[in-house]
Structure 1
């Protein structure tokens, strides 16, 4: 048993690392346990490798645009395995950086799976590897793991963990089941790399929960690019044959070389078997730890942030915000509150998010449906145009922009974008919305011309119902 700690963090992803480092900077004695690779889902098998693959898969489109501008090339070839190996070298570099950041912050890193073994007076006892620790507080930041349903042949499928972390040959035919962020993004990635791609979804369009206009616009452009979309479809079984993996239960048979299940991530089993049940920690049906506005569970001193936490009952709608920057913000808020005596609230109402599909999409704030449901009398502003960069040829992604504005206060409630570079644009829109910007503030801003973003400050005529 070592000296008493102020904080023990279980989980070395973005939220856990952010909390540990910030707490240590205020003089807290902190240890962090991670039994896998430092960096968590985002760095190792999520946001970062996905974005690198998005960049790689977008090169063929860029070459088409270049040809529209008069460039010519000889034979263009791509070494897919070389690309994945280069991607993994970059991920390893980032993992080393995470280790260095923790070391320089004075955080003790234990490369083992930790569990809360019980209480010792007011302290928790944590076991990690062969060591035992006493600590005033424990923070759970274990993230989530991919969920796949239990159906015949499910052993033949892969998840995003495989796609984004392993090295493999480029599949010729890909079936993606699921139409959230990961399904849409990786479906577009494989299509960009030349695979015949089918996106299979239960609903009518991808990205349930996003603004209906954004969903429609993105669905249309993805389909027009050549990705086959099968709405209102449910796979009932998967069969391995000499020709490939056959998906049954659909209106027509689909055969693929790789079947990717992108049906979401869940906190279990990462929150199971680490001593939480014995402490009486309250969780939801997916294994997420129920926490209050201070990220504290029903057991004082035991906290949780990120994808393994749920703010049910506190109006924070955390299930819609399983995003890396949110976990980081929550982790830092914990450190500020308990180790710097400062209340730092996370602004959940203006969280910007991006979909790195082809074309890209981005959103911030309320959808039109939600704004109306919450009683707002809204004005809707829209623009739909062909970006200047692609007006010289036939390989254009269109840009769609939408603002949701409260008619009486003039406050901008939501912004929804589809098109090239929209993830870069939405960040500053989020900053404006966090500051409480009105439509008049947008109108009074001088546009940067010629850009796509200028449409956000030049839309003056609302759409008529």
Structure 2
């Protein structure tokens, strides 16, 4: 290894890259990381962490609306977007510092500039410095996809939503995935008029259809305007600063901001992967084997840049498994079965395992148990919103194939239930468990 400057050179200091780098260093490797933007990556800097904080902030709006039913009188209540925005961004700064400290504590050298690959064992920094490494890890993540249409320059992506100078009174969200629905819920709760435009009649593909339908019904009841089977033709900026969005209807829709949230594209452009003959797959994702190795034996990739499963906890596991395999003498792979996930919409939904339609296609006869209930907390609200929990089981063995839910705190509740699905437990195990009463989670052991 003395023939190289480093044992490992990681490009990208997001969740996967940081985990891989620090674990490799703990195994005794000499490690360097290059990050062209900010340490922490999408999740910490401009993704799930600050977005969840915005969700928490927006939840106060509904609580305040019916606070009188709890016995509280709140006079002069108002919302100030810059206060919430600045608090969230200040905490992002704090978290970035902690991530940097983690690398520093593990003696990982950090180059705060862009790096590109110049060969199987070499990289070049933006400053012009050239370095060598026995192993190169690409962990550059993904970026928001932007379509091409007239006026797209007037639109923004999720990256810019955390930096808005002022809260848009009228917001259009283009897309039907989790990012689109989460921001739609946040700003609707904060008082913006929100329109969601989607090119098909399906939103949140991959989640159980019945659960999504319930969430959609609630979102519409809260005032979000959904325009299905619509495509953006063009966006025009008027003299007064508002945006006129043409979506195939007779009259354009006037809004103050347009958020494009149609998916994410792997960050592989301009990385120099061709200099090492690294193969790319669909949408420019890096092709890797089960050990995250590319077709070039000295170059690996983890996280969203591989487009396997675009979730932060998955990237972290991939980075850890890579480091253990290559530098720890413990070859490990990541199991992608039964990965739980959530959408922090309002209310949130979550799921793990097979949806009902997937289970029927795979197993044929299945049993579906459900609970359709009004959470006790919602009794204080004027909105008659009901939660829905579902459990899909193999008809013969009773093995749980999937659990899906929508309602308050769904993600928090599902995390524990996901252990049961991963462990291959049966419905009987839930039936044998005593309920915690009164709670929403008890519905999981009372499903019929």
TM-score of the aligned structures, taking structure 1 as reference length: 0.93
Q: What does the per-residue CA deviation read over 1:65-108, in whole Å, with 9 as the maximum and x for residues that have no partner?
A: 42222322112112111211111110000000000000001111
Aligned to 1:356: 344
Q: Is the 8 A contact 1:359 1:420 kept in 2?
A: yes
Aligned to 1:379: 367
Q: Is the 8 A contact 2:430 2:445 kept in 1?
A: yes
Q: Is the 8 A contact 1:65 1:390 kept in 2?
A: no
1:396 shift after superposition = 4.8
RMSD: 1.5
For this pair of structures, how many residues does the alignment match? 444
1:138 shift after superposition = 0.8
Residue of structure 1 aligned with 2:330, choices 342, 353, 356 = 342
Which range is displaced more, 25-34 or 391-400?
391-400
* Matches of 2:26 and 2:384, distance apart in 1: 49
Q: What does the per-residue CA deviation read over 1:269-298, in whole Å, with 9 as the maximum and x for residues that have no partner?
A: x31222101222111241110111111111
1:452 correspondence with 2:434: no
Which range is displaced more, 9-18 or 393-402?
393-402
Q: 1:350 to 1:173 in 2, by over 3 A?
A: same
1:82 correspondence with 2:58: no
- Tell me, which stretches of 5 or more residues in structure 2 are unaligned? none
1:146 correspondence with 2:144: yes
Q: 1:350 to 1:65 in 2, by over 3 A?
A: farther
* Matches of 2:188 and 2:354, distance apart in 1: 31
Which range is displaced more, 361-370 or 96-105?
361-370
* Matches of 1:102 and 1:434, distance apart in 2: 32
1:60-71 map, 5 Å: 60-71=61-72
1:235 shift after superposition = 1.2
1:265 shift after superposition = 1.0
* Matches of 1:148 and 1:379, distance apart in 2: 41
1:167 shift after superposition = 4.0
1:3 shift after superposition = 5.0
Aligned to 1:314: none
1:156 correspondence with 2:157: no
1:280 correspondence with 2:277: yes
Q: Is the 8 A contact 2:279 2:294 kept in 1?
A: yes
Aligned to 1:184: 181
1:346 shift after superposition = 2.1
Q: What secondary structure, in the 3-state scheme, does the structure 1 residue paired with 2:283 have?
A: coil
Aligned to 1:14: 15
* Matches of 1:434 and 1:66, distance apart in 2: 40
1:171 shift after superposition = 0.8
1:203 shift after superposition = 1.9
Runs of at least 4 residues off by over 6 Å = none
Q: What does the per-residue CA deviation read over 1:35-80, in whole Å, with 9 as the maximum and x for residues that have no partner?
A: 1000100000000110111111111111124222232211211211
Aligned to 1:315: none
1:327 shift after superposition = 0.5
1:397 shift after superposition = 3.6
